[in-house]
Structure 1
Amino acid sequence: MLLNLPAELVQLVLQHCRTPDFLEAAFSCRALYEIATNCREVLLHHLYLTPGAEFDSQLKSRQLFRLLVRRAFQQLYGTQFYASSTQYTFGSAKQTLDVKASAFSHDRTTLGIALKGHGDVRIFRAENRKLRQAGRLCSPFMAQSGSVEVLRTAFDRDGGVYVLQRFTPAVDAADADHPFVRQALASNGAGYVYLVRHSLRSPHDPVRMCSFPDHAEYEPLALAAAHRDTFAISWQHKRDENDTEVVLYNIQDQSSSAGALGRLIELEYNSCILVGGTQENDDDAHFVHPSMMTSALQNRGPIINLAFNDRSSQLLYYYKARTLYGSFQRVNMSSYPVQPTMYGNACTVQFDESLVLLFSIDIPFFGTHETIQQDGRSMCHWKYLSFGVARHRSEDWTVACLLRSEALCSSHNCQHVLNLERGRRFPDWTIVARLWGFEDATDSLGCRVAASKRGTRIAVANWNLLYVWAVEPGSLIEQNKDGFYPPSSQAGPGVTVLQPVVLPLNAVCFQLQFTQDEDELVAITDRGLMYWNLSPLGGGRKVVEHIAS
């Protein structure tokens, strides 16, 4: 129908449509392609509306069109049509991915996959748009008579994989030579929880293992590993859901053994309660209760996820129905036992001229460092860019923004090494962008947020929908001083509005992470592992692959 109009009217229509629609029309047929690629006025109009650096307006029409297409791909225009996804399923038809027991590592490449009812963890590597199995971590109890279930998995930064597992021996189990087996037999069929640390760097070394007799009546809700000798567990009592604790463990001693469970290194630890706790301590106990905690933070419910931050000097706490971590504690491991204060993740930020909102702000995903001269002194100027969420309490609406913080220090005292996790410490933040289309979750799962390695992509999974925003972090952190974003995208001085692309997951997302590639995204869902390729090379393919046991 459009082709029935005179060429002048077609050009007018192409000029007044959205840039993604203009490009879609241009590639729909040869006739429209010829019109679109030869109309200089229309091409310049869309280039001025599309984010990008300054360009030579005297370029030929075909060159302008190629430049527009290149910038459109950078801004994810049309991604909903050309993005491809591969859904990976595992084991037999009756076996399902355990979304709580599976985990991502810190390197954006390695992940541990656990199946419900199974006692092993499969190690995969996600790279070059493919998922490749790199190993399998078997429980020491696999050769015993009984069942093994993986409860939680966590990676440390020393090549270690921590696996919380429950071993339930068979009723007629006869082999009880090892103390761990005798512990499990004494559980009266309820099973016993153990922690096993495997080394990815030295896979043939004996595994390190410990048990938790003080928490035999508790279920683990979350696990985080700092390094080889420190980890934390969030516990909830089996019969009293209000009885919850977060316990920090520090390995003090170890002993080697060989027997029914193979070669083991049995660990002994000190522990201290960081959050919660109802037990009374005697003089010989290793538990230390926190001395300071606000009632508002105590009443947020159980802590369902944990993460160490800033070289393991902080522990972040996540709660149900929240997009970001809700509170944190500073953990000084040099003075053990630890007695930290809990702090809420809340910061007042000027939203507009007349409104101040209370933001929860994530760990920064981008930062810059430069050495400048100020009043004759050599200073280092640090800037950080982070994702934040705020809710207007009386009007009940939610907004997601990108925020900037900065700090100055003497260059003589500066290590000149960017540490994004350090940026969480700063109290003063300024909004530099609003993420249009963001909606906070209405379920207990909350949203899942991920940023790409170089900070050019922000992704949010809300139940079964995936929102992705294209970001130029270097421009936003300078509040668009270079004019990368056109005036049409400005919500105010120094504040840019970013539009998302929305992708249906057709599954509920529980965990989300970008790989080393800016356009590769991996999601752990209730229907398996989903591997997204957001680049135009994807071709819009939707593939299901099965990985056998």
Structure 2
Amino acid sequence: MLLNLPTELIQWVLRSCSTPTFLQAAISCRTMYEIATNCREVLVHHLQRTPGTLPADLRSMHAQELFQLLLRRASQQLYGAQFHADCVTFKSWANSLNVTASVLVPREFLTLALVFREQESIHLFQVIGGGLRPQARLELQWCRPGAVEILKTAFDGDDTLYILHRFRPSVNDSDDYARHPFVRHAMQLGTDTTVYLSRCSIQSPHGPIRICAFPDHADYEPLALAAARGGIFAISWQKAQDTSDLEVTLYICSSESNCDMRPGVIETSYNSCVLHSSKRQWFDGHRGLQGRLARGLLPYDNSSVVGLRFNDKSSQLLYYYRAQTLYGSFQRIDMSSFPIQPTLYENSCPVQFTDSLSLLFSIEVPFFGTHQTQVLDGFARCQWKYLAFGLATHREEQWTVACLLTSETFCRAQNCQHVLQLERGRRLPDWSVVARLWGFQHPTNSLGCIVAASRQGTRLAVANWKTIYVWALEPSALIEENSNGFYPLASQAQDSGMIELRPIVLSLEAVCFQLHFSEEENGLIAITDRGVMCWDLGPRGRGRRLIQHI
């Protein structure tokens, strides 16, 4: 019907529609393509509305050159990617994926440690070229027959995979097995479900396995596990018979001894201390507690810690709570004075949202940063800038806003290591909003949202149950508050001038539990209840949905 109109009217329609719609219309048929790619005025109009720096020779460029430039800009901004993105779902032939026990391991090549239900091994895969390449299979070694249930896994940031599991020894075993210290723990407790921790090398999966037991937490369920280099790990425990009894414990591995009954197994012991308990008030002078109550939120002391994460070279431990998107609180960890009783601080920072409104933001660890050395008055100093994702909820009206925020700090050049460390940006107290992320939906489920950023910071993804929102970013322009004019007026709010970014929306038809970008900016990996999904958001996709069995 549109083609029945005069060419001039069709050009006016193409000029009036959004740029993604214009590009979709341009490739709908040959006639529309000829009209769209030969109208220079329409092409310049859409280039001026698309984020990017316009070339100096724009006036001398031909219509076809302008169209190709617009296509490249559109690809960078993910225009239409929700329609042409390819997705391959990897499933097991027999057993379903244990999503709470599997983990994404961020290494040089993204590695997946997958656990399948009713299996006692961990399967390692590398994510390469949008596919999964088998790497190794980790088998847990035991000194007696029995069944193993893998509960949680974690990566220490170096080469070690931590595996939290429950061992149920067989009933009809000889007395020789019963004399083993691990088995004796279970017998003394009157239970056959003791929880253990195994440490395995990813680089040498067939090397020795280090094992320790937790007899003091036989009646607890582990909710979260985090690991750091040097044999440091933390576990969030919840009592099985009293779910309000919560505890976070820090462990440091100490002595080791070879297992006499099984070669390749090393028994380890540890020192431990309780970092957080629901039976005590750990917040800084009730300030964090009062802030939560003022916003109609429950105290974190009564919330389950379902996620833990070491930050800034293990000097901090971040707490993630049920139904929350970002970490809700953190502790400063000083290993030199072990055991410790650190204060629990809330992840809350007042930020000016508009000229007349200040909001309390929860701010994630920065995903992008810059470093620059300046010389002022003969003194050299270094400037650090950070870009981070943040959330805020209006105290009275209860609406939630997602934003990108920036902060900066300075130090003397002679004291600076000149190495970018994004995790240190979490310490900064002063932040300012540089962009609003439209399309963010406040979670209404117990998982909360899952946030992931690509390595170069050009993509930001948020998973909310069965939907993933992906924003295209130009972090170098955002961190400088658009001083180079990369984002045109069409990307800014008319009243405030704030940059407004809009996402593409991917429907998974599966619940997303973990999310991470691969080494490619357009590669997105999701662990779901229906398998591992590998998305390719690049412009060469054809909207294919494939299934492969592993």
State the TM-score bracket (shorter-chain normalisation): over 0.9
CA–CA separation in structure 2 for the residues paired with 1:186 and 1:527? 40
The DSSP-based 3-state class of the residue aligned with 2:485 is coil
Q: What corresponds to 2:24 in structure 1?
A: 24
What amino acid maps onto 1:327 in structure 2?
S
Contact 1:167 1:184 in 2 (8 A): no
Matched, 1:155 2:158: no
CA–CA separation in structure 1 for the residues paired with 2:434 and 2:250? 37
Q: Would the alpha carbon gap of residues 278 and 46 (structure 1) be closer, same or farther in structure 2, given more than 3 Å must change?
A: closer
Q: What corresponds to 1:244 in structure 2?
A: 246
The gaps in structure 1 that reach 5 residues or longer are: 280-288
The 5-angstrom pairing of residues 223-234 of structure 1 reads 223-234=225-236
Report the Cα offset of residue 440 of structure 1: 1.0
Q: Would the alpha carbon gap of residues 13 and 277 (structure 1) be closer, same or farther in structure 2, given more than 3 Å must change?
A: closer
Report the Cα offset of residue 204 of structure 1: 3.3
CA–CA separation in structure 2 for the residues paired with 1:537 and 1:308? 38
The DSSP-based 3-state class of the residue aligned with 1:68 is helix
Q: What corresponds to 1:457 in structure 2?
A: 459
Post-superposition Cα deviations, 1:52-84, rounded to whole Å, max 9, x if no partner, equal 112131211100000000000100000111101
Report the Cα offset of residue 333 of structure 1: 1.1
Q: What corresponds to 2:292 in structure 1?
A: none
Q: Would the alpha carbon gap of residues 481 and 442 (structure 1) be closer, same or farther in structure 2, given more than 3 Å must change?
A: same
CA–CA separation in structure 1 for the residues paired with 2:279 and 2:435? 44
**Higher alpha-carbon deviation: 488-497 or 39-48:** 488-497
CA–CA separation in structure 2 for the residues paired with 1:277 and 1:543? 46
The DSSP-based 3-state class of the residue aligned with 1:373 is strand
Q: What corresponds to 1:45 in structure 2?
A: 45
RMSD: 1.8
The DSSP-based 3-state class of the residue aligned with 2:429 is coil
Contact 2:161 2:202 in 1 (8 A): yes
What amino acid maps onto 2:312 in structure 1?
D
Contact 2:283 2:345 in 1 (8 A): no
What amino acid maps onto 1:171 in structure 2?
V
Q: What corresponds to 2:548 in structure 1?
A: 545
CA–CA separation in structure 2 for the residues paired with 1:75 and 1:385? 19
Q: What corresponds to 2:522 in structure 1?
A: 519
The DSSP-based 3-state class of the residue aligned with 2:540 is helix
TM-score, normalization by structure 1: 0.94
**Higher alpha-carbon deviation: 109-118 or 22-31:** 109-118
Post-superposition Cα deviations, 1:476-499, rounded to whole Å, max 9, x if no partner, equal 000111111111111266631001
Alignment partner of 2:330 out of 303, 328, 331: 328
Q: What corresponds to 2:4 in structure 1?
A: 4
Q: What corresponds to 2:347 in structure 1?
A: 345
Q: What corresponds to 2:237 in structure 1?
A: 235
The 5-angstrom pairing of residues 148-547 of structure 1 reads 148-174=148-174, 175-186=177-188, 188-259=190-261, 261-276=262-277, 294=286, 296=289, 298-491=300-493, 495-547=498-550
**Higher alpha-carbon deviation: 121-130 or 68-77:** 121-130
Report the Cα offset of residue 178 of structure 1: 2.5
CA–CA separation in structure 2 for the residues paired with 1:26 and 1:454? 31
Q: Would the alpha carbon gap of residues 290 and 47 (structure 1) be closer, same or farther in structure 2, given more than 3 Å must change?
A: closer
CA–CA separation in structure 1 for the residues paired with 2:45 and 2:173? 77
Contact 2:354 2:496 in 1 (8 A): no
Contact 1:300 1:319 in 2 (8 A): no
Contact 1:149 1:165 in 2 (8 A): yes
Report the Cα offset of residue 118 of structure 1: 2.2
Report the Cα offset of residue 266 of structure 1: 0.9
Contact 1:293 1:341 in 2 (8 A): no
Contact 1:194 1:210 in 2 (8 A): yes
CA–CA separation in structure 2 for the residues paired with 1:52 and 1:430? 23
Q: Would the alpha carbon gap of residues 361 and 278 (structure 1) be closer, same or farther in structure 2, given more than 3 Å must change?
A: closer
Post-superposition Cα deviations, 1:138-183, rounded to whole Å, max 9, x if no partner, equal 1113x84331100000011220000001011222233435222333
Q: Would the alpha carbon gap of residues 28 and 292 (structure 1) be closer, same or farther in structure 2, given more than 3 Å must change?
A: closer
Post-superposition Cα deviations, 1:198-220, rounded to whole Å, max 9, x if no partner, equal 01223332111100111111111
Contact 2:320 2:329 in 1 (8 A): yes
**Higher alpha-carbon deviation: 250-259 or 462-471:** 250-259
Contact 2:167 2:194 in 1 (8 A): yes
CA–CA separation in structure 2 for the residues paired with 1:518 and 1:404? 21
CA–CA separation in structure 1 for the residues paired with 2:67 and 2:86? 25
Contact 1:168 1:184 in 2 (8 A): no
**Higher alpha-carbon deviation: 181-190 or 366-375:** 181-190
CA–CA separation in structure 2 for the residues paired with 1:543 and 1:187? 49
CA–CA separation in structure 2 for the residues paired with 1:78 and 1:231? 43
The DSSP-based 3-state class of the residue aligned with 2:546 is strand
Q: What corresponds to 1:146 in structure 2?
A: 146
TM-score, normalization by structure 2: 0.94
Report the Cα offset of residue 102 of structure 1: 0.7
The size of the alignment, in residue pairs, is 534
What amino acid maps onto 1:173 in structure 2?
D
The gaps in structure 2 that reach 5 residues or longer are: 290-298
CA–CA separation in structure 1 for the residues paired with 2:52 and 2:431? 26
CA–CA separation in structure 1 for the residues paired with 2:548 and 2:191? 37
Contact 2:111 2:124 in 1 (8 A): yes
The DSSP-based 3-state class of the residue aligned with 1:267 is strand
Report the Cα offset of residue 117 of structure 1: 2.8
What amino acid maps onto 2:440 in structure 1?
F
